[in-house]
Amino acid sequence: MLARQPKREDLQKAIKVARRDRAERLLTREISWSPDGTVELVLTREFMVPDDAGVYLIHDLRGILYVGQSRKLRQRFAQHDRLRRNRLLHLAMSRPVGIMRFSWRLVADEEERSAFERELVATLQPVCNRQLLDTPLT
């Protein structure tokens, strides 16, 4: 016996509901974040980023695009201009909407840093984080 194929209208309605539910979750979730600093994401600003450990965000007018962590924020800041491993992030950075920014919060402890990064990724759901690419839209 063949399974019934869902109608196109049913699929579109399900996608619309899933997007609305996701938006509501994102807008109602509390976030404990206040950056220790923010700079425009251009190499001439590298010296303004501390060489300490922390969690960082890459964002522009579209919102938070990427959340990451590093033991050396300044080095990681510079790498984002050179490395092209994350195709979506490279695409977003090559076509910014407004000013592309790099914001950070200093977190020395590695376990705290990892936990904070996971919390921000789960809460903010940045579109360029690889962890989210295989996650269904729920």
The domains of the chain, with CATH numbers, are 33-132 (3.40.1440.10)
Backbone angles phi, psi at 58, to 5 degrees: -115, 125
pLDDT value of residue 136 = 45
Per-residue confidence (pLDDT) for residue 1, from 0 to 100: 53
Contacts of 113 (CB under 8 A, 6+ apart): 53, 54, 55, 69, 107
With CA atoms as reference, report the closest residue to 96 among 126, 68, 125, 65: 65
- Give pLDDT tens digits for 86-108: 888 988 998 999 999 999 999 99
Which pLDDT value is given to residue 10?
A: 75
What pLDDT does residue 26 have? 66
State the pLDDT at residue 112. 95
